[in-house]
A and B are shown apart, each in its own frame.
Chain A
Amino acid sequence: MKRLKFSNIIIYLFLSVFALLYVVPFLWMISVSFKTNAEVFTNPFKLPQVFQWNNYYVAWNSGKLGVATLNSIIVCLITLLASMFIGSMAAFAIARMRWKLARPAMTYFLIGMMIPVHCVLIPLFIQFSKLNLTNHLLGLILPYITFSLPMTIFIMTNFFRGMSSELFEAACIDGCSIYRCFFHIALPLARTGLFVTGLMTFVNNWNELLMAMVFISDVQKKTLPVTLTYFVGPYATNYVQMFAAIVIAIAPSILIYCCFSNQIVDGLTQGAIKG
């Protein structure tokens, strides 16, 4: 019994030290974001003497974070809804309906998971500039939806397959059409799946940098991760503002994570195991 307790202490000690490695950078970041630039050099580890709320104000304005946040929200919301809708329709057809090409269709979508964005970057850029889709949020939304589809279809097919077929049979006998089967039975039952895919889509696209950098050059259309890269170059000496900007940029994700972390974890588990 005594030995067991000792090993427990070692384990918790290890886990806590490891956890500090995760928590300390964030705490430090928040404390720096409230300091003056001089303070960063003179007392880097103490709490700021006077909280410089002004840093946030300046970062928000000079980094044009307002418009960037709005763009990110628009892009992410539309991508989220569209990919969930389109993806679950396709997943339903693959998982539940009977047709010869269901299997090849699934393979086709799954191959998409392995394809790096980089490979299609230039051809897409050329196409989009011909269609006037560069510097347009739609030019981001379309590829974002497409790249979110494989994962959505993958997870949603698992959910649809897991439903008992008696349910659908009963509905059909009562005269339910295939569309009602999908919208009124399958979709509501697959709530968890929709939630998971939605969160994953949100996280991926909220953070996407490369495509957003390439397709958008108009300051009014940039998304959050792209505006952050401004702070690398010319603003690089103004650390406090950079940190305020980082805090602003990741705050929404942290908030969402805090609210839904257990669901995210459960969802991942379900998606992973069923695959």
Chain B
Amino acid sequence: MDKIFRNKLAIILFITPALLLFTAILLIPICQSFYYSLCDWNALTSPKFVAFDNFKRLFLKDKIMRTALKNSLFFMFFSAITQQILGLILAGILTNLKRGRNLFKNIYYLPAVLSSAALGLLWSFLFNPKMGINQILSYFGVEGPLWLMDTKGFIILPMWVIAFVALWQYTGTTMMLYMAQISGISKSLYEASYIDGASKFKSFFTITLPLIKPMVATTLSLNCIGSLKFFDLVYNMTQGGPNHRTDVLATHLYNEGFQYFKYGYANAIGVVLLLMCLIVTVVINRSIKVKNYEM
């Protein structure tokens, strides 16, 4: 028995395909990416080592990078806060619901399985200055704003609009993960609290919230990393316009790399993105200390 499960040949056979793919498509490219980010390189020349010049230019001179960084961070904080709260509220309500739980759950989760590219197009139409939502507003005699082209303010209106669409699309995911965790909590805990005279509301705060803490860390890091990686919605709703005001890190990377073919420079953006993702994950997991409760 033991011998069979220590079969070296079998282990190698089982693990090699995954290991090969992982190394060839993830590990090696990442190492290259770090190296290229230190190079001056466009499509025509060969890479020339310039140390940290790309990063200096990125952070000191590049105005679009500043906007992209600001926008990406805005998405991150906005979606982290709104999705967590809304997802948790919905999960709390739905798990206590007697009828129609599956129906509502399925409706709210639906957009998360659909293509962001398609949904981005749909919403860009709904937020078109002459159509969709502005047509409704004009029924009430209100002239709607230029949702996706307005450029006033520190965080411009199109950013709020895209952030809203992202919230609409992904709240279901957060809700679902919380529901999964809540349904794993033993019913006897709640029954005991009801006998002690606690209301449903109170038991939510005293039992549910502390027990789903591990899931908070998971959903929060998923939220944050997801919104840092944002590409599809922005690309199909505004393409980074007007005048690069809605660019995020991913669209900036795409433009620099595949519109202007500045490979080294675009890679530097990629490295920044990777580091941000890693930092966010570490910070979240450190700050939300997970205790193990008996479930």
Chain A residues close to B by CB (< 8 Å): 11-12, 14-15, 18-19, 21-23, 25, 28-29, 32, 40-41, 44-45, 86-87, 89-90, 92-94, 96-99, 105, 108-109, 112, 114-124, 126-127, 142-143, 145-146, 149, 153, 168-169, 172-173, 177-179, 181-182, 203, 206-207, 209-210, 213-214, 224-226, 228-229, 231-232, 239, 242-243, 246, 249-250, 253-254, 257, 261-262, 264-265, 268-269, 272-273, 275
Contacts and interface: CB of A to CB of B under 8 A. Distances in A.
A96 B135 CA distance: 60
B14 A92 contact: yes
Contacts of A92: 14
Interface in B82-130: 90, 93-94, 97, 100, 102, 104-111, 113-119, 121-126, 130
The A interface is mostly helix, strand or loop, or mixed, namely: helix
B281 interface: yes
B121 A232 contact: yes
A98 B26 contact: no
26 contacts: A15-B93, A15-B97, A18-B90, A19-B104, A22-B168, A44-B131, A90-B19, A99-B11, A115-B26, A117-B229, A119-B33, A119-B271, A120-B25, A121-B257, A122-B263, A122-B267, A123-B267, A146-B22, A225-B232, A228-B121, A229-B236, A265-B105, A265-B109, A269-B180, A269-B183, A273-B180
B270 A210 contact: no
B6 interface: yes
B5 interface: yes
Interface of B: 1-2, 4-8, 10-11, 13-15, 17-19, 21-22, 25-26, 28-30, 32-33, 36, 90, 93-94, 97, 100, 102, 104-111, 113-119, 121-126, 130-132, 135-136, 168, 176-177, 179-181, 183-184, 215, 218, 225, 228-229, 231-232, 235-236, 239, 249-250, 253-254, 257-258, 263, 266-267, 269-271, 273-274, 277-278, 281
B152 to A, nearest CB: 24
A171 B159 CA distance: 59
